[in-house]
Amino acid sequence: DADVTQTPRNRITKTGKRIMLECSQTKGHDRMYWYRQDPGLGLRLIYYSFDVKDINKGEISDGYSVSRQAQAKFSLSLESAIPNQTALYFCATSDPWTGADTGELFFGEGSRLTVL
Amino acid sequence: AQSVTQLGSHVSVSEGALVLLRCNYSSSVPPYLFWYVQYPNQGLQLLLKYTSAATLVKGINGFEAEFKKSETSFHLTKPSAHMSDAAEYFCAVSDQLGGGFKTIFGAGTRLFVKA
């Protein structure tokens, strides 16, 4: 089983619908992140959480919200989806406790969202 | 703020040829630098990372990268391309942020390997 699991892997929805993407991890890492990948733009940070009580906006948080339900779970919500939120979304984790803390990320397999 | 520039959104090489993927970064302090690889329908996985221990960094699958501070570069190379190397490659830099790091990615370079 994957260490970082994202559900759903694929979702097609309509404009205005509420969507939740879920991420769970078995790595025991405190830090979790949501990134968005668009062709030609690389990955951009939406939200990040350094522990259960810590939530921070990334560079493109407008239109998104998150919830850190537990150390192992970090969900991303689109309250009212719009077509330009069509993208590949990645959850990632990192661990500050393994010796040299460098910010190395461990990724899920991605959730492909299409908003019509 | 730090930034990462990858030169060339697409690179095509023949099987057995040298692979060179270019990455330049902007940073006011010694950075942590990474190359990640993304195979089709998969997440990103770490190829190699520079953490100031050595300027030439060896990674998985025969890849290596050299940190050149004077050129602010961290180019990725492999002496001989294999068909299985076809993927998208991302250069990234860690930016210290509060109690942790924020990783900034380049736009990515898709590598095509021709038989």
The pLDDT tens digits for B30-44 are 678 999 999 988 899
Q: 10 Å Cβ neighbour count for B1?
A: 9
Distance between CA A75 and CA A47 in Å, rounded? 10
Q: Is B2 on the interface with A (CB under 8 A)?
A: no
Three-state SS at B70: helix
In terms of pLDDT, which residue wins out, A34 or A1? A34
> How close, in Å, is residue B63 to chain A by CA atoms?
18
In terms of pLDDT, which residue wins out, B11 or A102? B11
CA distances from B53 to B4, B63, B65, B90 (A): 21, 17, 13, 21
- Please list the residues that pair with A92 across neighbouring strands: A33, A107
Q: Indicate the average pLDDT of chain B.
A: 91
In terms of pLDDT, which residue wins out, B9 or B95? B9
Please report the number of interchain residue pairs, chain A to chain B, with beta-carbon separation below 8 angstroms. Answer: 67
Q: Which two tokens stand for residue B6?
A: 């990858």
Per-residue pLDDT at B32: 87
Which of A4, A45, A110 is the closest to B102 by Cβ? A45
Residue of A nearest to B39 (CA): A109
Confidence of residue A15 (pLDDT cuts 50, 70, 90): very high
Q: Could A50 and B100 be called an inter-chain contact, meaning their C-beta atoms sit closer than 8 Å?
A: yes
Asked if A55 and A66 count as a contact pair (C-beta separation under 8 A), the reply is yes
Average pLDDT value for residue range B87-97: 89
Per-residue pLDDT at A100: 57
Per-residue pLDDT at A1: 61
Contacts (Cβ under 8 Å, ≥6 apart) of B59:
B35, B46, B47, B48, B49, B65
Distance between CA B82 and CA A12 in Å, rounded? 35
Residue of A nearest to B37 (CA): A107
Per-residue pLDDT at B86: 97
The string of pLDDT tens digits covering residues B48-82 is 998 877 889 999 999 999 999 889 999 999 999 99
Q: Could A105 and B103 be called an inter-chain contact, meaning their C-beta atoms sit closer than 8 Å?
A: yes
Per-residue pLDDT at B28: 65
Q: Could B105 and A50 be called an inter-chain contact, meaning their C-beta atoms sit closer than 8 Å?
A: no
- pLDDT higher than 70, residue A53: yes
